[in-house]
Structure 1
Amino acid sequence: MHCGNGSSMKRKRGERVFRFESFCEQGVPCHFHGCFYENIMALVEFGNAEPSTTNKATKCWSFRLELHHHPPIFVRLFIVEEIIALSPYRHCPYCRTIGWGHHMICNKRFHIVLSSKGKGSAIPMIEGLELETIFRGTDSANKLSKSMEPQGHLMHGIMHANGFGHLIFVKGIEAGSEHLSGNQILFLWDRICNALHLRKVSLIDVAMKETMELRLIHGIAYGHSWFGHWGYKFSHGSYGITEQMYQKSIEALQALPLCLLLPHFSCSCHELPIIVAKYQAICCHTLLTLGDLLRFMIELKNHLPMNSTTPTMEYHGIISEATCRWSMKRVEMAAQVIVSELKKTESRWTSRQQIRDAARAYIGDTGLLDYVLKSLGNHVVGNYIVRRVVNPVTKVLEYCLEDISNKALPTCNNKNTVRFRCHVTRAQLSRDLLYLYKHVLKERRPGFTSGIFSSIPMAVRIILDMKNLIKDHGKESRLPGRIESGTNRTIELMCTVNITGEGKLPPYEQVSMQAHITIGELKRVVEKHYREMYLGLKSFTAEKVENKEAKDSDLVLRVVEPGSRIVIQGRVAVENGDQEMEIYESGNEERVINCRCGAKEDDGERMISCDICDVFQHTRCMGIADAEETPRVFLCSQCEHDIVSFPSIHY
């Protein structure tokens, strides 16, 4: 571990302040070269140790992160070490859901919590109630219920000592954060994971934007979840959903042609043609599919100011030019008068001079009228486009209102097509996105039972059932193997253990050792490492290196190559009746899952077991909508069939 000079002196003088944008970048607060556990223990040395609490299972350090210097705005990052042997919650439900139930329970796990409070209120309650919230207060998909989410927390992640972690939740601006967006928080989390050499991180994607599931909107727009921008990829789906099914559903919804979508939906979704025409007017290329439209809308929204509001009629775009010397209120008043006069012409072309003369009865400033007439041309106003063309005969500018409320998507095949501009505010764009989400994707329409539209509900359901994501940070693939450090040469190996009678191999661990050690010394090093790492291996004894014919006196470098993988076989001594001790995250109970949807493994969704054969099936697949409808006695279809087929007993 190589840290900057004078860092300890700074810590003694007072609490250090780190820039939010650079925290855990290269060298901030130091360079990390070890495995995850070594790195995080080095990181907390730079934190402010919080006062001890009544909970002996936790230790806490905090970091003060500066968002802005003028005015000074701070947030506080907490790292809480949880000692599993003293914790009432040994098992991690997120490990079981993501498929890491075969991992052994670590001796420690670390909670990474970002609090919006920069001062005081030190420990963010990672004890007692919040531990219960994290490990018990989850719904059927292991998502924290809104009523139990900690107040004032912007992010919570869990990192196990073996380098596997979970991102529990992130709260951006729309979820209550005052200063930080979800993007900023995700970048911070990603920097921390990379700096500490975390191996893999999972998350359950239930991110919402207002009332829209982001994994559906972003899936259609970009082909992956919102978290995909940070490298999170498909792990496994719920209810038997496979990656191939997910990709096919994404592609089907992305490719829905707008030219077919509009005629079928315009009768019941009157605003749909207006929305499509509006964004086609802004876009510099033709929007052909639903995927094109959603992607353009999302990217446009990302470039709009956060505090933009939607006026009664949208005239803000015409005063965006630097040449405008009138107030917004005066420009809007003049624009309203001009549009009102154009409505009186009943869609007939009217000369600029006629409109100007009619408007002068209400607006005396002719300079203002000239400016608005020039700027308002080809501008979308409510359900109309203010068209402006030059009369080819008289060479005079003429204006007309074109009603677009019942028109389909304008095409750009004609080179003479008039390109008009449209100003859209962030609030209006959000409403338009919600309209598309609700009326095109979510509403079930009995009339659309055939053709390409009949597959929309099924494709949407498949995408929404894909919630489990994993990011592989790939630290194992970059194992250096050998490090030269002066005269003390060290080597690194990827080691795991095979416990006699268990049959499960825990994840490989990066273990450093002196280059000149023997096989016997190697076994002691691995033995010590695994005893310190895992709760159930405190009495582990290493016996031999599997598939290697080697004596304890042989040098390691003569038997294995630096950076290679080895398996150490050994046993765990049974002490004080600990044979029933649960050492795996999934526990000792082996669930048998055989659902009609095809699921064979636990995917975190709510299940019910048959009272005869103990086989688990999804409650949704069994038609059980909620917990209140759960029958007191439940029989799977097979057991129910077997009972019905029993021969009658006659007395």
Structure 2
Amino acid sequence: MSILEANKKRKLRPTPTPMLRPTQTPSLVPPRRLWRTQTPTLRPTPKVYDFHTFADADYHNNPKGAFRDNMPLFLQEYAQQQHKNVGCMPAWLMLLRHSSSTEDAIVPFYIIVEDVRSTQRPYCNHCRCSGWGHHFVSKTNYHLIIPEADHESMPLVDDFLDLQTHLFHGLIHCNGFGHLLSIKGTAGGSKYLHDKELMDLWDRICTNLRTRKITVKDLSRKSSMYLRLLYGVGYGHSWHGKWGYKFCRGSFGVAELDYFRAIKDLSSLQLDQIVKDFGDTDKCREIKQIFRHYKDMSETPLMTLKDLLGFMLTIKSYAPLHINKKATAAPSCSTSKPLVIANKEDGKWSAKRLGEAAEVIATVLKEKNAEKLCHGKMTRHDLRAAARVHIGDTGLLDHVLSLDNVDVGTHVVCRTKNPGTHIFEFSLEELGNGIKASEPARQPGVDVYCDLVYLYNNILVDYPGLKWVNEATWVVLNSKCFVKEWPLLDENDQFLTFTCRLMPLGETETTMEKGLPHGEVVVVVPPHATVGELKQAVENAAKNTYCIAKNFKVTNIEELEGFNDETLLSEAVASGIDLCVTGIGLALENRFRCQAGIESWEVRCTCGATDYDGEKMIQCNDCRVWKHTDCCGMKDTEVIPRVYICRACEVTDALNTIFFEEVIENM
């Protein structure tokens, strides 16, 4: 048999069936897969960053483009996308490590990406209240949230954006305009996050991502005091003004000029005149005592209400500190509280160092008492020189000596001004000396916070006799919306940056200002870009920013008329200017036309308001015009009537009735 025939027989031979044991069954899995093990895909752990330095000016990979381009890059670089969405919206997570003197904590920081084309609420009521209701609807909204619970116990439920328990919630549209919706620090339930820390974080992120404008509705208060009034008179700006937020819009027709005039009038109230105006009231004595106490405490003259409130707020920003040794501490019968020593915000000296300095000062005063010289009192110069023998940090000594009534064990270091020499003198008194049971529990100067509440309620809110003071207070209280605008150009920026206002073909700046919607885009191009490249960049920016600009085509740029597309921009215009861009393809009939929505609201109130300002309103059933319920004489607690006829329509109806009655009589 040849080799060829043998190979043919071998190929035709059937494959033998393997012998199986009685208990053995054929495997349903192919043998080649038996060695493979299917391991679950593990998602990487979210990155952890330092809370107090995250997104600061020195952060690496600092973006230079517009916000719509910077935010996606920011998410890819620093955040981790979660496997569970909020509804249909992707959720990204970063972890921030918060270190404090008491404990370290991990803070979850979520960013929820909302596509307005797939959401049930595409319009922004916050834009409408801020005067931005005519803006085009942005394609994407970014919600920045720090929840109340940690990331492991906080479920991403579908109504996550609507929860009122968040410690922090900010909203930024992809066009760079946004709103700070809520901040709840330690006063709002946070265990370790302060309002100032949250504001610092928000400001760093907005600056780093190059936002355009951010608004905040300031409703913050402590006890009965609205901070926008207290800080407005004391500092000349709201609490958010420390981060650059300025007046944006007032309620009930309050304009910017009205706001600044009211702040100026209240701030310039003379303290002597206030005492005269309260002369016939039972509050005069206590107001005079409060004024006298803080005038004596201040090293600079306090003449106006702004001087006084500003000084008291500065003192209030310090944290009270008891300096008592447990071994020698005795129950205090004093109704006073120790004044401030440590500044929590600065944290320059620890509580231990402050306590040591206060004890050294008390020891020096005890020795002076033992010598029975000058009744145990020492001038600031002598006391400072004696204490420097034991403490070399003069800044620490100056800080402690600038305070009043500091408790040290069972004694109090008292600071008073000599009426003859006008020099501060220090003495050591025992706690409880001179305190009688019949004396009131609260005395002027003992508690700064109580003094602020007293002055707020009796001077700012209920000033006797002068109507203009109460009117100025009303103006400030109805100025709730504040805004911060970031500069368009960076001093170190090497690119060309422009703000381009999009207008449909055939429209002009004048017609756009009459209420037609409009959109703005920030365009960043290389330094050697041409006019044609700028037009292409504007088209791409418009398509990526607004829903109605999907087919937008640039036909003309007003500031570049006469230049061809090959002209270098650096030879035609300067970086940072505003450009009016005309084009075709804006779908102005689309439902995403403007942030105010498709409904047409006509506001014409007796207070002068011509647009919705966030206050409660009612619509007249005859003229269909909206007015404030407060201006119509309705209280907030009243039930809104189902049928309402405004005063103007009532007069018109009455005149028409009289006219028709006369016509009928003459027929």
Q: How does the TM-score come out when normalised to structure 1?
A: 0.72
Contact 2:413 2:426 in 1 (8 A): no
Cα shift at 1:543: 4.1
* Structure 1 residues not aligned, in runs of 5+: 1-10, 134-148, 332-350, 354-370, 380-386, 391-399, 407-421, 484-490
Other-structure match for 2:459 = 440
Cα shift at 1:109: 0.8
Note the alpha carbon deviations across 1:329-360, whole angstroms, 9 max, x for none.
xx9xxxxxxxxxxxxxxxxxxx989xxxxxxx
Other-structure match for 1:182 = 195
Cα shift at 1:212: 1.1
Other-structure match for 1:313 = 335
Hey, what's the Cα distance between the residues in 2 that align with 1:279 and 1:598? 42
AA aligned opposite 2:132: W
Classify the secondary structure of the residue corresponding to 1:111: strand
Cα shift at 1:182: 1.3
Other-structure match for 1:633 = 643
Larger radius of gyration: 2
Give aligned-pair identity as a percent: 26
Note the alpha carbon deviations across 1:511-553, whole angstroms, 9 max, x for none.
436956673x654443332122111222334444457567987
Hey, what's the Cα distance between the residues in 1 that align with 2:255 and 2:636? 25
Q: How does 1:213-232 map to 2 (within 5 A)?
A: 213-232=226-245
Other-structure match for 2:304 = 289
Hey, what's the Cα distance between the residues in 2 that align with 1:234 and 1:216? 13
Contact 1:36 1:162 in 2 (8 A): yes
Relative to structure 1, the CA distance from residue 606 to residue 197 in structure 2 (aligned partners, 3 Å threshold; closer, same or farther) is same
Hey, what's the Cα distance between the residues in 2 that align with 1:600 and 1:641? 21
Alignment match of 1:498 (pick from 500, 503, 512): 503
Contact 1:130 1:150 in 2 (8 A): no
Q: How does the TM-score come out when normalised to structure 2?
A: 0.70
Contact 1:75 1:116 in 2 (8 A): no
1:429 matches 2:460: no
1:74 matches 2:89: no
1:597 matches 2:634: no
Other-structure match for 2:469 = 456
Other-structure match for 1:268 = 282
Note the alpha carbon deviations across 1:89-130, whole angstroms, 9 max, x for none.
1111111111111211111010111235444135665xx434
Other-structure match for 1:207 = 220
Other-structure match for 1:150 = 164
Cα shift at 1:67: 2.6
Q: How does 1:607-626 map to 2 (within 5 A)?
A: 607-626=617-636
Hey, what's the Cα distance between the residues in 2 that align with 1:501 and 1:88? 33
Note the alpha carbon deviations across 1:420-455, whole angstroms, 9 max, x for none.
xx9966xx22222112212222237xxx34xxx332
May I ask how many residue pairs the two structures share in their alignment? 531
* Structure 2 residues not aligned, in runs of 5+: 1-41, 325-331, 341-354, 367-373, 377-408, 418-423, 428-432
Contact 1:78 1:123 in 2 (8 A): no
Relative to structure 1, the CA distance from residue 635 to residue 306 in structure 2 (aligned partners, 3 Å threshold; closer, same or farther) is farther
* Range with bigger deviation, 77-86 or 597-606: 597-606
Cα shift at 1:620: 1.1
1:162 matches 2:175: yes
Cα shift at 1:208: 1.0
Other-structure match for 1:395 = none
Classify the secondary structure of the residue corresponding to 1:593: coil
1:537 matches 2:549: yes
Cα shift at 1:203: 1.0
Other-structure match for 1:24 = 55
Hey, what's the Cα distance between the residues in 2 that align with 1:24 and 1:617? 44
Hey, what's the Cα distance between the residues in 2 that align with 1:306 and 1:389? 19
Relative to structure 1, the CA distance from residue 124 to residue 23 in structure 2 (aligned partners, 3 Å threshold; closer, same or farther) is farther
AA aligned opposite 2:477: L
Q: How does 1:23-422 map to 2 (within 5 A)?
A: 23-28=54-59, 30-45=61-76, 46-53=78-85, 55-68=87-100, 71-121=103-153, 125=157, 128-131=158-161, 133=162, 150-151=164-165, 153-265=166-278, 267-269=281-283, 271-305=286-320, 312-314=334-336, 316=338, 321-323=358-360, 375=413
Contact 1:548 1:559 in 2 (8 A): no
Hey, what's the Cα distance between the residues in 2 that align with 1:567 and 1:624? 45
Q: How does 1:441-590 map to 2 (within 5 A)?
A: 441-443=460-462, 448-449=464-465, 453-475=466-488, 483=495, 493-500=498-505, 503=512, 504-512=517-525, 515=528, 519=532, 523-546=535-558, 554=566, 557=569, 560-561=572-573, 563=575, 565-572=578-585, 579-590=589-600
C-alpha RMSD of matched pairs (Å): 4.1
Hey, what's the Cα distance between the residues in 1 that align with 2:425 and 2:526? 78
Relative to structure 1, the CA distance from residue 37 to residue 374 in structure 2 (aligned partners, 3 Å threshold; closer, same or farther) is closer
Relative to structure 1, the CA distance from residue 116 to residue 28 in structure 2 (aligned partners, 3 Å threshold; closer, same or farther) is farther
Classify the secondary structure of the residue corresponding to 2:85: coil
Cα shift at 1:373: 9.1
Contact 1:241 1:462 in 2 (8 A): yes
Cα shift at 1:263: 4.8
* Range with bigger deviation, 633-642 or 296-305: 633-642
AA aligned opposite 2:241: G
AA aligned opposite 2:196: N
